[in-house]
Amino acid sequence: MFDLIVRGGTLPDGRVADIGIRGDRIAAVEPRIDAEAGAVIDAAGDLVSPPFVDPHFHMDATLSYGTPRVNASGTLLEGISLWGELRDLATVDEMVERALTYCDWAASMGLLAIRSHVDTTPDHLNTVTAMLEVCDKVRDYIDLQLVAFPQDGLYRAPNGRENVIRALDMGVDVVGGIPHFERTMTDGAASLKDLCEIAAQRGLMVDIHCDETDDPMSRHIETLAYETQRLGLQGRVAGSHLTSMHSMDNYYVSKLLPLIAEAGIAAIPNPLINIVLQGRHDSYPKRRGLTRVKEMQSHGIPVGWGQDCVLDPWYSLGTADMLDVAFMGLHVAQMTHPDEMARCFTMVTETNAAIIGLEDYGIRPGALASLVVLDAATPTEALRLRASRLAVISKGKVIARGPRGDAGLNVPGRPATVRRRQP
Ligand SMILES: [Zn+2]
């Protein structure tokens, strides 16, 4: 007897299976389960995936687009300046409400685990108070992991370092930083040494906004790799963005990639935001600014796509759809080989789950019963269609249902409905 059976779906690896769920756990994954169930979801012909995971987001700023103004230049720096105003205007309740609305969107999209950076710059730390409250409120259906993020610099902001420590003491999970925004390259390097030591002492993970610039001399990733190695933090550190690597000298990168791999650092490019923010100071040719995704992967470096922003001072679009993120990444990184397209789907599911350290993730007996049924036959088709979510199951409960992406058609001699699946 199962509480729920998801019947006949195609798993991302191509197997067709029934998935039996008891309580909040997957109890069986078999070609055919002949047993009673409290409820059954028919997934025949549809893709059944573990949930989407976003390893890089800003939940404190989300859904604030246009407040207090839109970002007229479209640059990172104007976005930081706008956010600097907004974070002192917004109340805790307003930030909680916006974040909860975003989590509704995420739940409906099967996005069930999110790592969010939380700005620790303002002394009031309302951002941290609000996001800790959101963590508690969504705990039953979304795993929200928080990063203490000194947006205005660990040393550049008056109480930058002290406030990171306060946020960690309040219960924030991960140590963040922004070395390229410190006053000098030397301060940037010193901030990484400091932050990695804090993480080592406290047994925490590290996720750095690292080299989010077009300046090829922004080489903080080198320092991050060194400190990770020195302090034995392998497997616990991520470099987010790494966009300067796009513009670096190829000879230098040939030395750098093995150092990143040796340090066990994961990379989190954010293609939606990177393609709109980078290259803004260029005329033509205009650089894409995405980091070297395929080259990293060929060195064994884990790379996962992050979303970063939805409707905030930096990005004016977004729907909490990690398939949008992977779709953009696929294009900008030119990952068009069939294996690469399929990998882009893995990069917003399994790879991201591993990067943020999710336990009990996946489609196997004993794992958490969190699944998404998609209106697509394969992972690549899910990307092509940005497929509709037919059902979202979180920890054993069906939390969202949606219609197929079909449309009615009124064309003489042609079918009455159209479904854009590959024939
Ligand atoms: Zn970010």
Q: How far is the CA of 24 from the centre of ligand 1 (A)?
A: 32
HSE of 28 in the Cβ direction (CA atoms, 13 Å)?
A: 16
Q: pLDDT digits over 265-277, tens only?
A: 999 999 999 999 9
- d(CA 160, CA 122) in angstroms, rounded, equals 8
Q: How far is the CA of 15 from the centre of ligand 1 (A)?
A: 36
Band (pLDDT 50/70/90 cuts) for residue 76 is: confident
Q: Which residue has the tokens 């000298």?
A: 249
Q: What is the pLDDT of residue 205?
A: 98
Q: pLDDT digits over 189-245, tens only?
A: 999 999 999 999 999 999 999 999 999 999 999 999 999 999 999 999 999 999 999
Q: How far is the CA of 56 from the centre of ligand 1 (A)?
A: 6
Q: How far is the CA of 209 from the centre of ligand 1 (A)?
A: 6
Question: What is the average pLDDT value for the chain, to the nearest integer?
Answer: 97
- d(CA 244, CA 238) in angstroms, rounded, equals 16
Name the pTM for this structure: 0.97
Interior angle at CA 16, CA 11 and CA 20, nearest 5? 80
- d(CA 102, CA 108) in angstroms, rounded, equals 10
Band (pLDDT 50/70/90 cuts) for residue 41 is: very high
HSE of 181 in the Cβ direction (CA atoms, 13 Å)?
A: 21
Q: How far is the CA of 386 from the centre of ligand 1 (A)?
A: 23
Which distant-in-sequence residues (6+ apart) come within 8 Å of 20 by Cβ? 2, 4, 5, 26, 27, 28, 29, 30, 33, 35, 37
Which distant-in-sequence residues (6+ apart) come within 8 Å of 72 by Cβ? 78
Q: What is the pLDDT of residue 214?
A: 96
Q: How far is the CA of 228 from the centre of ligand 1 (A)?
A: 21
Calculate the CA dihedral of residues 93, 94, 96, 99 and round it to 10 degrees. Answer: 170
% of residues, the chain, pLDDT over 70:
100
Which distant-in-sequence residues (6+ apart) come within 8 Å of 411 by Cβ? none
- Across 1-29, average pLDDT: 98
H or E element in which residue 171 lies: none
Residues measured by CB to lie within 5 Å of ligand 1, the ion: 308
- d(CA 349, CA 12) in angstroms, rounded, equals 10
pLDDT for residue 346 is more than 90 = yes
Q: Which residue has the tokens 């080989």?
A: 337
Q: How far is the CA of 174 from the centre of ligand 1 (A)?
A: 14
Q: How far is the CA of 314 from the centre of ligand 1 (A)?
A: 9
* Least confident residue range of 65-69, 149-153, 343-347, 365-369: 65-69
Question: What residues are labeled active site?
Answer: 212
% of residues, the chain, pLDDT over 90:
98
Q: How far is the CA of 83 from the centre of ligand 1 (A)?
A: 12
Band (pLDDT 50/70/90 cuts) for residue 68 is: confident
